[in-house]
Amino acid sequence: MLLLHQSVHTPWTCNPQEGGGGGVYIPQQPSPALLGGCPVVPAPYICGDCGKGFSSSYKLKIHQRIHTGERPYKCLVCEKRFHKSAHLKVHQRTHTGERPYGCQVCGKRFTKSYHLKVHLRTHTGERPYQCPECLKTFSVNSHLTVHQRTHTGEKPFVCFECGKSFRQKTSLLGHQKSHQRLGERRKLTWKTLWPEK
């Protein structure tokens, strides 16, 4: 009976493949028990900067740190700062190696539950994010965002050294390394032509 009740809260179900070969996790439809049992929470506390609403003044205060830049929680290992204690806790896993979220299909482990959720899509083939322009689908929303720049021509990442623009931050970072290598070659050439005495 407990297992039956737990299935109400589990977004994945195991469908055995024909021929007895293991199972594949697929997303379930939300249970009517879940849909009908969740009250709508009023959001009377409104952020003056962006208009987003919150159910408590505390949640609004935490949110406002995004706008003010306040980051009161500091990692004692690397001194990186965070606006939420929960974000610090997740970050600390990069130092401890803790990966509490495990895939029940392949055993791969993750530091964040969201990363596990995205990973599960590799097993299910789920691609919930669709480009309205060309209908191509993606398993991660950020991949759709980058893809849409091929249609808009937007290149928001600019090299401050030469002004060249890129669609992705990783492309900019790779490009910036070329400037570093060029600078190192110039130093070597300078030393070869005019050696120090």
pLDDT in tens, 21-65: 333 333 444 444 444 555 567 888 999 999 999 999 999 999 999
Domains 50-98 and 99-128 share a fold: yes
Residue 10 near residue 35, CB atoms below 8 Å:
no
Q: CATH classification of 131-179 is 3.30.160.60, yes or no?
A: yes
Q: How far is residue 122's CA from residue 115's CA, in Å, rounded to a whole number?
A: 11
Token code pair at residue 172: 């900019």
pLDDT digits 0-9 by tens, 90-148 = 999 999 999 999 999 999 999 999 999 999 999 999 999 999 999 999 999 999 999 99
Q: Which of 54, 108, 68, 65 is nearest to 87 (CA)?
A: 65
Class of domain 99-128: alpha beta
Q: Which fold has domain 50-98?
A: Double Stranded RNA Binding Domain (3.30.160)
Three-point CA angle 97, 114, 99, nearest 5°: 15
Q: Has this prediction a pTM greater than 0.95?
A: no
Distance CA 73, CA 85 (A): 6
Query: Cα-flanking dihedrals φ and ψ of residue 178, to 5°?
Result: -65, -35
Query: How many residues can be counted in the chain?
Result: 197
- The residue extents of the domains of the chain are 50-98, 99-128, 131-179
Q: Give me the residue label for tokens 């209908």.
A: 135
What CA–CA distance (Å, rounded) separates 60 from 54? 6
